[in-house]
Amino acid sequence: MKKYLLLFSISVLAFSCKDKEENSSEKKEETAEVTTKQETKDDEWTVLFDGTNLDNLQLYGNDNSIENWKIEEDALVFHPPAERPKDTHYNLVTKKEYTSFVLSIDWKISEGGNSGIFWGIKDDGTYGQPYETGLEVQVLDNEKHPDAKNGTDRQAGALYDMVAPNKDVTKPIGEWNTAVITINHKTNTGSSVLNGVTVAEFPLKGKEWNSLLENSKFNGWDGFAKYKTGKIGVQDHGDIVSYRNIKIKELN
């Protein structure tokens, strides 16, 4: 009898251990599945402009038809109007707002041209221009535009008027440049990568940020850099400029 009881106990223990192993294995698989899904989500890019339509974009300040921005050979090209009504601008912004993200965008500027890529834009009718609220990575002809001579923090790739690029890696006029802008409020870090080179890094808040702001033209501006969540846009600065392959990856 004792022998049978011993065998029964061993069998129960074996099944119990097996169940625990299976449950543990299932939990590991579930955890791995969740992790994989999270990693996949973090790696997902959303195309904002693929060369075929402007469905994700609109003019800053309204949702009317987009003027002066034309799709040409898969690129979004701005042609400044010959005659511009007073206080009329054609800045282009996303319909959606973003907080932390990685933005990838190709740009090509005309000779002597100037433009910019903004984020944190408040588009509710309170402000007249994206630059009143949004921070900007500069798009510029470093060779012929006078802004490049006014200080390196206005050269292409700079956090405009705040952080200078550590080197000039722009392509010759007529060639495409690729900008990758990362804004991460969780880690309090921002960066500007131009043609594969990290040319500027900056905080988004704190003592160092306050110092940058105080020493810039934006010091004292009511709405500047106040909005963690806002639209992304490209600038009408009165010059021909082209953008293509615009995509964004939101950071959780």
Calculate the alpha carbon distances from 88 to 17, 60, 83, 84, 158 in Å: 74, 11, 10, 7, 26
159-181: average pLDDT:
97
Average pLDDT along the chain: 87
Q: Are residues 106 and 216 in the same domain?
A: yes
Domain that holds residue 15: 1-43
Residue 156: give its domain's CATH number.
2.60.120.560
Res. 251: pLDDT tops 60 = yes
Provide the domain count of the chain: 2
The confidence band for 235, taking pLDDT boundaries of 50, 70 and 90, is: very high
pLDDT of amino acid 43: 67
Q: Are residues 32 and 68 in the same domain?
A: no
pLDDT of amino acid 177: 98
pLDDT of amino acid 241: 98
Q: For 40-72, what is each residue's pLDDT tens digit?
A: 345 699 999 999 999 999 999 987 778 899 999
Q: Are residues 53 and 89 in the same domain?
A: yes
Q: Are residues 19 and 104 in the same domain?
A: no
Q: For 172-214, what is each residue's pLDDT tens digit?
A: 999 999 999 999 999 999 999 999 999 999 999 999 999 999 9
Q: Are residues 213 and 237 in the same domain?
A: yes
Q: Are residues 39 and 152 in the same domain?
A: no
Closest by CA position to 161, among listed 114, 123, 94, 126: 114
204-227: average pLDDT:
98
With vertex at residue 96, the alpha carbon angle to CA 94 and CA 97, rounded to the nearest 5 degrees, is 100
> End-to-end distance of the chain based on CA atoms, in angstroms?
62
| In contact, 176 and 243? CB cutoff 8 Å | no
CA atoms within 13 A on the CB side of 164: 12
90-114: average pLDDT:
97
Phi, psi of 221 (to 5 degrees): -70, 130
Token readout for 155 is 């050269």
Q: Are residues 67 and 104 in the same domain?
A: yes
Q: Are residues 225 and 107 in the same domain?
A: yes
Q: Are residues 174 and 238 in the same domain?
A: yes
Token readout for 183 is 């804004």
pLDDT of amino acid 35: 34
pLDDT of amino acid 14: 46
Q: Are residues 30 and 148 in the same domain?
A: no
Q: Are residues 2 and 71 in the same domain?
A: no
Identify the H or E element spanning 207.
Answer: helix 207-214
For the chain, what percent of residues have pLDDT higher than 70?
83
Q: Are residues 194 and 117 in the same domain?
A: yes
28-47: average pLDDT:
53
Token readout for 196 is 């594969």
